[in-house]
Amino acid sequence: MKMSACWAEERFCESGSCKYILAVCLAETIRRWEETAMPILADYHLHSSFSGDSDTPMEKMIEKGIAMGMETMCFTEHMDMDYPYSKAEEEGLFELDTESYANGFERCKEKYGGRIRLHFGIELGIQPHLARALEAYAGKYQFEFVIASSHICNGKDPYYADFYKGRTQEEAYREYFQSILDNLKVFHDFDVYGHLDYVVRYGPGKDRDYSYDRYKDILDQILYRLVEGGKGLEVNTGAVPHGLRELNPCTDIIKRYRNLGGDIVTVGSDAHAPERIGEGFERAADILKSCGYKYYTVFAERKPEFIKL
Ligand SMILES: [Zn+2]
Ligand SMILES: [Zn+2]
Q: pLDDT tens for residues 269-297?
A: 999 999 999 999 999 999 999 999 999 99
Q: pTM for this structure?
A: 0.88
CA dihedral 100→105→110→114, nearest 10 degrees, is 170
**Cis peptide leading into 249, omega within 30 of 0?**
yes
Which domains, from first to last, does the chain contain? 1-37 (no CATH), 38-308 (3.20.20.140)
pLDDT of residue 2: 33
Please answer whether residues 279 and 271 qualify as being in contact, where contact means their C-beta atoms are separated by less than 8 angstroms: yes
Instruction: Give CA separation, 255 vs 247, 251, 263, in Å.
Output: 13, 6, 10
27 — pLDDT class (breaks 50, 70, 90): low
Q: Which residues surround ligand 2, an ion (CB under 5 A)?
A: 123, 270
Report the alpha-carbon distance of residue 73 to residue 58 in Å, rounded: 11
- Span from the CA of 186 to the centroid of ligand 2 (angstroms): 22
Q: Which ligand is nearest to the CA of 54?
A: 2
Report the alpha-carbon distance of residue 301 to residue 143 in Å, rounded: 7
Angle, CA of 250, 154 and 133, to the nearest 5°? 100
Between 178 and 25, the more confident residue is 178
Instruction: Give CA separation, 136 vs 8, 130, 147, 197, 211, in Å.
Output: 50, 10, 15, 27, 36
Q: Which of 136, 97, 73, 77 is nearest to 300 (CA)?
A: 73
pLDDT at 4 over 80: no
Report the alpha-carbon distance of residue 118 to residue 192 in Å, rounded: 18
Burial of 87 (0-12, 13-18, 19+ CB in 10 A): exposed
pLDDT of residue 73: 98
- Span from the CA of 108 to the centroid of ligand 2 (angstroms): 20
pLDDT mean over 230-240:
95
pLDDT of residue 241: 83
pLDDT of residue 211: 98
256 — pLDDT class (breaks 50, 70, 90): very high
pLDDT of residue 306: 97
Please answer whether residues 154 and 179 qualify as being in contact, where contact means their C-beta atoms are separated by less than 8 angstroms: yes
**Range from 8-17, 69-78, 112-121, 246-255 carrying the lowest mean pLDDT:** 8-17
Q: pLDDT tens for residues 80-131?
A: 999 999 878 888 999 999 999 999 999 999 999 999 999 999 999 999 999 9
pLDDT at 12 over 70: no
pLDDT at 157 over 60: yes
Q: Which of 172, 165, 220 is nearest to 198 (CA)?
A: 172
Report the alpha-carbon distance of residue 281 to residue 269 in Å, rounded: 8
- Span from the CA of 82 to the centroid of ligand 2 (angstroms): 17
Q: Which ligand is nearest to the CA of 248?
A: 1
Please answer whether residues 118 and 105 qualify as being in contact, where contact means their C-beta atoms are separated by less than 8 angstroms: yes
- Span from the CA of 54 to the centroid of ligand 2 (angstroms): 10
Task: Report the share of the chain in percent with pLDDT over 70.
Answer: 88
Q: Which ligand is nearest to the CA of 77?
A: 2
